[in-house]
C-alpha cells in the first residue's frame, strides 16, 4: 500500500511538496515554495537571515520539521539534529518556484530528477538573477526527457511532457507491482503544444491508475472564459495593426508560447520585436532545445541596449554575456525615431526606459497573469505603473490566457484517465472536483492519504 503526505499543495495554488511512500521507498514529488510563503511574518526588510538556515522557518511552522531530509548547513541553528537522508529521490515537474523553491534546503546527497529543459532554465535564471533559480548544491542531479523510465527501488517513474506556460513541463506515471499512480504537475491543453498534454493523458489512461493526483488551479465555482493562445495572438495582432505608435508587450520571459505569439504578430504587421539583453541571453540559451530564432542574426528581432556609463553604447559598458548580441543592437534613438516599426517587450521594472523613448500614441499590452492586473496585493505597484502610462499617454490593453487547464479540460483529462481515486492539489477549490468525479479524496496540509 502507498501513502501520500501533503506538506504543500493541499488547499493552495502552488507550493507542491508531496511525499510518496511505497513499501519503504520514499520519494518527493516537487519541492516548491508556496506563493504566500512567509507573508504573515516577514515584510520588506524584516526577513530571515539566510545564514541561519531553517531556524526561522521552523519557528513559524513554515517548513515541515521532517528528520533525515535537510542539509547539515540548513539545520545548524535548529533543534532538529542532522541525520543522513532516507529519501530515495525528488522528482520535479517544472522550474516554477512553487515546484522547486525549497530544493536548496535539501541534503545535497538526495538524488534530484528534472527535465533537461527545466535544468537549463534554472541555470540561466541563476546566472542572470542572483537568488532566482538557485536550487542549492546537489551532488546527484539527473536530467531526463519524455519517455524515459527511471527505476527507484521497486518503482518506475515515467515522465511524460505536458503543455504549460513554460517549456519543459512534465507529469509522471509511477508504476509499482500494485498498479500506477498518475501525477499531473501543472498543465493546460489550449496552446500550440496541446499535443504534449494529449500524449500524457493517453499514456496515463493506458496505465489504468489506481490513483491520480491532479492540479486544479482553475477549478473554480464560476469558471472564467477560456481563451486560447491563438486568440491571444489574434488580439495582440489586432492591437498592433490598429496602432499608430510604439507597442509595448509585458509577458513572462519563460512563457515561450507567448514570445512566439508576439514574435509572429510583430512579423505579420511588418514590425520587429525588441527584447533586452537578458531576454536575448535566455532565448539564446534555449534556442537549440526549443527551435527558437537566433537573436544574433534574426532580422525580425532587435536587442535593446540601455544607455550606460559612457553613453556611447561601447562594448565595455556591458556585461560579457551582453556583448554577444551587439551586431543586432538597437537603442532608444532608433526606437524614438521610428516607433511604428517596433513592438517592445517590457515589464514593470523597465518603465524607466520611457524617459528615453518618450513614445507618442503608444499601446501597452499586459499579457501576463491576471493576478497583478486585478489582485488587491499589487494595488500600489499597479498604481505606479498606471501613473507612468498616463504620464506618457499610453493606452493599456489586456491579452492573456492561462498556463492551466480550465474546468472542462480538467474534466476531460480526469474522465479519460479514469483513476480509482482522485486527489486534487494546487487548487483552492478541491471540493469542486467532487461535482465532476465520484471517488475524490481531499488532502489536508500536512495530512496523509493512504491509497
By CB under 5 A, name the binding residues for Zn ion: 14, 96, 98, 186
Could you tell me whether strands 2-8 and 211-215 are parallel, antiparallel, or unpaired per DSSP bridges?
unpaired
Given the C-alpha cell 522528482, which residue does it identify? 91
Beta strands in 81-228 (DSSP E): 89-91, 112-115, 141-144, 150-152, 155-162, 169-176, 179-183, 211-215
Given the C-alpha cell 538597437, which residue does it identify? 330
Classify residue 221 by its DSSP letter: S
Q: Are 374 and 396 in contact (CB under 8 A)?
A: no
Residue 146 or residue 156: which is nearer to Zn ion going by CB? 146
Residue 88 or residue 98: which is nearer to Zn ion going by CB? 98
Query: Residue 110: helix, strand or coil by DSSP?
Result: coil
CA angle 432, 5, 371 (to 5 degrees): 45
Please state the closest distance from residue 237 (CB atom) to Zn ion, in A: 27
Please state the closest distance from residue 16 (CB atom) to Zn ion, in A: 7
Given the C-alpha cell 473554480, which residue does it identify? 220
- Helices H, strands E: what count in the chain? 13, 20
R_g (Cα) of the chain, nearest Å: 23
Tell me the C-alpha distance between 144 and 135, whole Å: 17
DSSP lists the bridge partners of residue 329 as 303
Residue 200 or residue 248: which is nearer to Zn ion going by CB? 200
Please state the closest distance from residue 138 (CB atom) to Zn ion, in A: 21
The residue among 101, 145, 88, 150 whose CA lies nearest residue 120 is 145
Please state the closest distance from residue 272 (CB atom) to Zn ion, in A: 30
Residue 85 or residue 133: which is nearer to Zn ion going by CB? 133
What's the gap between Cα 268 and its chain centre? 28
Residue 96 or residue 271: which is nearer to Zn ion going by CB? 96
How are the residues of the chain apportioned to helix, strand and coil, as percentages rounded to the nearest 5?
35, 25, 45
Residue 359 or residue 403: which is nearer to Zn ion going by CB? 403
Tell me the C-alpha distance between 426 and 179, whole Å: 24
Please state the closest distance from residue 30 (CB atom) to Zn ion, in A: 8
DSSP lists the bridge partners of residue 174 as 157, 181
Please state the closest distance from residue 173 (CB atom) to Zn ion, in A: 19
Residue 98 or residue 163: which is nearer to Zn ion going by CB? 98
Please state the closest distance from residue 186 (CB atom) to Zn ion, in A: 4
Please state the closest distance from residue 282 (CB atom) to Zn ion, in A: 17
Residue 187 or residue 305: which is nearer to Zn ion going by CB? 187
Amino acid at each position: 500500500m502507498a501513502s501520500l503526505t501533503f506538506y504543500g499543495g493541499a488547499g493552495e495554488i502552488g507550493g507542491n511538496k508531496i511525499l510518496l511512500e511505497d513499501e519503504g521507498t520514499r520519494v518527493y514529488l516537487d519541492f516548491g515554495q508556496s506563493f504566500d510563503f512567509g507573508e504573515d511574518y516577514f515584510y520588506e526588510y524584516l526577513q530571515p537571515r539566510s545564514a541561519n538556515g531553517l531556524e526561522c522557518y521552523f519557528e513559524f511552522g513554515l517548513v515541515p520539521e521532517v528528520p533525515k531530509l535537510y542539509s547539515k548547513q540548513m539545520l545548524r541553528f535548529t533543534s532538529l539534529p542532522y541525520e543522513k537522508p532516507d529519501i530515495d529521490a525528488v522528482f520535479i515537474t517544472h522550474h516554477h518556484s512553487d515546484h522547486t523553491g525549497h530544493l536548496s534546503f535539501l541534503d545535497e546527497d538526495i538524488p534530484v530528477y528534472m527535465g533537461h529543459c527545466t535544468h537549463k532554465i534554472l541555470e540561466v535564471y541563476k546566472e542572470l538573477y542572483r537568488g532566482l533559480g538557485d536550487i542549492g548544491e546537489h551532488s546527484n542531479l539527473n536530467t531526463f526527457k519524455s519517455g524515459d523510465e527511471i527505476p527507484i527501488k521497486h518503482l518506475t517513474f515515467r515522465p511524460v511532457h505536458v503543455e504549460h506556460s513554460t517549456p519543459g513541463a512534465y507529469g509522471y506515471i509511477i508504476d509499482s507491482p500494485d498498479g500506477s499512480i498518475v501525477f499531473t504537475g501543472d498543465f493546460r491543453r489550449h496552446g500550440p503544444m496541446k499535443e504534449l498534454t494529449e500524449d500524457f493523458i493517453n499514456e496515463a489512461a493506458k496505465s489504468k491508475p489506481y490513483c491520480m493526483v491532479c492540479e486544479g488551479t482553475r477549478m473554480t465555482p464560476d469558471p472564467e472564459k477560456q481563451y486560447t493562445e491563438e486568440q491571444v495572438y489574434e488580439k495582440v495582432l489586432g492591437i498592433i495593426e490598429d496602432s499608430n505608435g510604439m507597442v509595448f508587450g509585458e509577458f513572462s520571459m519563460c512563457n515561450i508560447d507567448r514570445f512566439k505569439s508576439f514574435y509572429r504578430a510583430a512579423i505579420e504587421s511588418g514590425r520587429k520585436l525588441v527584447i533586452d539583453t537578458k531576454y536575448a541571453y535566455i532565448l539564446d540559451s534555449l534556442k537549440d532545445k526549443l527551435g527558437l530564432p537566433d537573436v544574433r542574426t534574426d532580422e525580425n528581432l532587435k536587442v535593446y541596449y540601455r544607455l550606460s556609463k559612457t553613453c556611447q553604447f561601447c562594448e565595455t559598458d556591458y556585461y560579457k554575456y551582453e556583448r554577444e548580441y551587439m551586431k543586432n543592437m538597437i537603442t532608444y534613438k532608433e526606437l524614438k525615431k521610428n516607433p511604428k516599426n517596433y513592438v517592445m517587450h517590457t515589464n514593470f521594472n523597465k518603465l524607466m526606459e520611457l524617459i528615453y523613448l518618450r513614445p507618442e500614441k503608444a499601446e501597452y499590452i499586459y499579457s501576463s497573469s491576471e493576478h497583478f492586473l486585478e489582485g488587491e496585493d499589487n494595488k500600489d505597484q499597479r498604481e505606479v505603473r498606471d501613473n507612468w502610462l498616463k504620464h506618457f499617454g499610453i493606452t493599456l490593453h489586456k491579452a492573456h490566457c492561462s498556463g492551466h487547464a480550465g474546468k472542462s479540460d480538467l474534466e476531460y483529462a480526469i474522465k479519460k484517465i479514469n483513476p480509482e481515486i482522485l486527489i486534487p492539489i494546487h487548487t483552492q477549490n478541491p471540493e469542486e472536483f467532487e461535482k465532476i468525479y465520484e471517488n475524490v479524496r481531499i488532502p489536508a496540509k500536512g495530512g496523509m492519504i493512504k491509497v
